[in-house]
Amino acid sequence: MTKLLIVLVLVLGILAVAQLARVYELTSRLRGKREEEISPADNRMNAMLMWLFVVLYFASFIWLMVRYGDKMLPVAASQHGVELDRLLNFNWIIIISVFFITNTLLFYFAGKYAFDKGRRAFYYPHNNKLELLWTTVPAAFLAVIIIYGLRTWNRITEPATGDAIRVELYAKQFDWTARYPGKDGMLGATDFRLINGTNPLGIVTETSVATRMDEIEADIKAAEGRISNEILPDGKVDELQEEIAHLRRMLERISNLRTVMLEDIKEKGDASPYKHGSDDLVIKEFHLPIRQQADLLIRSRDVIHSAYIPHMRAQMNAVPGMTTRFKMVPTITTDSMRIVTGNEAFDFVLLCNKICGASHYNMQMPLVVESADAYDAWMAEMLKKPFEGGDAPEEERPAEGTEPMPMDTVVAEPMAQLQDPASMNK
C-alpha cells in the first residue's frame, strides 16, 4: 500500500512539474519573450552554483573518509599484507589526486565560461602536442601501476620455502577443517572416495582403504538383502539396483586405488605419500606460529569456496578437484592484535568468501597466531590424537552415504566462540 502511494505521489509530482513548465512557457509567450532566453542574472547564478557544488562535493568526500576511515581493516598482520596495503594506497593516492584535479577543472570552467552574450567561442580544433601529452602521461602512470602490481603479485605467489609449515585448509558446505602433517612432517595422499564419518578428508592409508571397502561391501549386501527379502514397489527395486551398480563401480575404483598405493609404497618406501596419512592431524582448530612461513594448501569437497583471512590480506579460491595454495608469514600475534584493535575478544578469522550456499555466512574458523613456544605446546597436545590411532576426528558423523548433503537439508550450527563479524574490526 505504501509503495502504491509513493508511486502515486511521484506520478502526480511529475505531472505538476510538467504543468508548471507549461504555465511558464505560456506566460513567456504572453510577455513576448523567447523560451530559451535566460537572463544574465540566471546565468551568473548557475555559474555560482557550479562552484558551490564542487566545494560541497569535495567536502562530503573528505568527511566520508574521515568519518568512516576507522571502519577499514586494521593494520595488516602478515608480511605480504604490508606490501599489498602499500600497493593499494599507492593506487588510492593516484586515483584520488586525479579525481580532485579533473573535477576541479570541470566545475571551475563550467562556472567561468557561463554564457555571456558578448563573448565569442574560441576556435581551437587541434593540437598534436596536447594529444601526445594526455596520451603518454596516463599511459606512463598506468604502466607504473601495472608493473608495480605485477611485481608485488609475483612476490606474494612465488612458491613457499622448504621449511614452511604446511597446513591443509579443507572447505565443505559449510565449514573448514585443518590438516597438519604428523610427526613425519608430511601430509598423506587423499582421495574423495574414501570420505566417510571417521575420514572426513578422505586420507588414503592401508587401513582407511580397507575400512572403506568393507563399508561399501556391507552397503551392497544390505541393498541386495532388501531386494530379496522385502516386498518393494518396482520403482524402489530399480532404485536399489542402480545404487548397487554405483557402489560396485566405486568399489572397483577404490580397489584400483589400493593397487596404485601398494605399488607406490613398494617403489618409494617411506617417501610414498601413501605412507604419511595415518599420523596426520585432522582438526577443527587453526593455529600458526608468528614469523614463520605457512604454506596453506586449500581444497574443497563440494563447490567453489574461498579461503579468506582478511587481517592477513590473504585470499585464495578452494576449487573441487585441485589444490590451490597461498603462502604467508604472520607478523602479529592474536594477543598483540587485541591490543592494537582495542578489542579484547578479537580473533583472526578464516572466512569463506564465495557465496556457496544457505549457511555460507557462517562458514568460518578462528585462527590463532601465537609465539613459536605456544605453537609447539599446542602442536604437542594435538599430536596425541592423530588421524589413525588417536581419538576419532572431531567431525560430526554424517548421515549415510558419502555424498555431500544437499544444501536445504543442512542446518547451520552457529559458532558460539566467534563474535559477530560487525564487531571484528573494533
Name the segment binding Cu ion (CB under 5 A); options: 180-188, 265-273, 305-313, 374-382: 305-313
Any contact of residue 363 with Cu ion (CB under 5 A)?
Answer: yes
Minimum distance from residue 317 beta carbon to Cu ion (Å)? 10
Minimum distance from residue 366 beta carbon to Cu ion (Å)? 16
Name the segment binding Cu ion (CB under 5 A); options: 17-25, 357-365, 377-385, 388-396: 357-365
Minimum distance from residue 192 beta carbon to Cu ion (Å)? 17
- Nearer residue to Cu ion within complex by CB, 76 or 351: 351
Cβ atoms within 10 A of the Cβ of 415, count?
15
- Nearer residue to Cu ion within complex by CB, 301 or 305: 305
Alpha helix segments (H runs only) across 234-347: 234-268, 334-341
Distances 135 to 29, 130, 144, 147, 378 between C-alpha atoms, Å: 49, 8, 15, 18, 58
Q: Which cell numbers in the block locate residue 66?
A: 574521515
Q: Which cell numbers in the block locate residue 396?
A: 560430526
Any contact of residue 318 with Cu ion (CB under 5 A)?
Answer: no
| Closest C-alpha to 311, from 178, 424, 416, 166 | 424
CB of 192 within 8 A of CB of 323?
no
Name the segment binding Cu ion (CB under 5 A); options: 123-131, 210-218, 299-307, 375-383: 299-307
Name the segment binding Cu ion (CB under 5 A); options: 309-317, 330-338, 348-356, 397-405: 348-356
| Closest C-alpha to 364, from 308, 319, 408 | 308
Minimum distance from residue 341 beta carbon to Cu ion (Å)? 25
Name the segment binding Cu ion (CB under 5 A); options: 64-72, 233-241, 288-296, 358-366: 358-366
Any contact of residue 314 with Cu ion (CB under 5 A)?
Answer: no
Count of positions (residues) in the chain: 426
CA angle 152, 90, 96 (to 5 degrees): 145
Name the segment binding Cu ion (CB under 5 A); options: 40-48, 91-99, 199-207, 344-352: 344-352
Minimum distance from residue 351 beta carbon to Cu ion (Å)? 9
Minimum distance from residue 348 beta carbon to Cu ion (Å)? 18
- Nearer residue to Cu ion within complex by CB, 244 or 304: 304
Binds Cu ion (CB under 5 A): choice among 77, 281, 356, 367: 356
Here the contacts of 390-395 (C-beta below 8 Å, separation 24 or greater) are: 392/198, 393/198, 393/199, 393/200, 393/282, 393/283, 394/283, 394/284, 395/177, 395/197, 395/198, 395/200, 395/282, 395/284
- Nearer residue to Cu ion within complex by CB, 314 or 363: 363
| Closest C-alpha to 201, from 230, 226, 170 | 170
Q: Which cell numbers in the block locate residue 50?
A: 557550479
Minimum distance from residue 354 beta carbon to Cu ion (Å)? 5
> Peptide bond before 58: cis, by omega within 30 degrees of 0?
no
- Nearer residue to Cu ion within complex by CB, 189 or 356: 356
Any contact of residue 305 with Cu ion (CB under 5 A)?
Answer: yes
Minimum distance from residue 202 beta carbon to Cu ion (Å)? 18
The angle that helices 79-112 and 128-157 make with each other, rounded to 10 degrees, is: 160
Name the segment binding Cu ion (CB under 5 A); options: 238-246, 269-277, 303-311, 410-418: 303-311
364-370 and 286-289 beta bridge pairing = parallel
Name the segment binding Cu ion (CB under 5 A); options: 81-89, 202-210, 289-297, 346-354: 346-354
CB of 161 within 8 A of CB of 293?
yes
- Nearer residue to Cu ion within complex by CB, 363 or 424: 363
Minimum distance from residue 177 beta carbon to Cu ion (Å)? 13
- Nearer residue to Cu ion within complex by CB, 107 or 176: 176
For CA atoms 74, 79, 82, 88, the dihedral sign is: negative
- Nearer residue to Cu ion within complex by CB, 164 or 410: 410
Distances 203 to 105, 193, 328 between C-alpha atoms, Å: 64, 10, 25
- Burial of 55 (C-beta count, 10 Å sphere; 0-12/13-18/19+): exposed
Size of the site for Cu ion (CB under 5 A): 4
CB of 188 within 8 A of CB of 203?
yes
- Nearer residue to Cu ion within complex by CB, 227 or 355: 355
Minimum distance from residue 304 beta carbon to Cu ion (Å)? 8
- Nearer residue to Cu ion within complex by CB, 179 or 305: 305
Q: Which cell numbers in the block locate residue 424?
A: 571484528
Any contact of residue 352 with Cu ion (CB under 5 A)?
Answer: yes
- Nearer residue to Cu ion within complex by CB, 35 or 403: 403
Minimum distance from residue 80 beta carbon to Cu ion (Å)? 23
Q: For binding to Cu ion (CB under 5 A), which residues are involved?
A: 305, 352, 356, 363
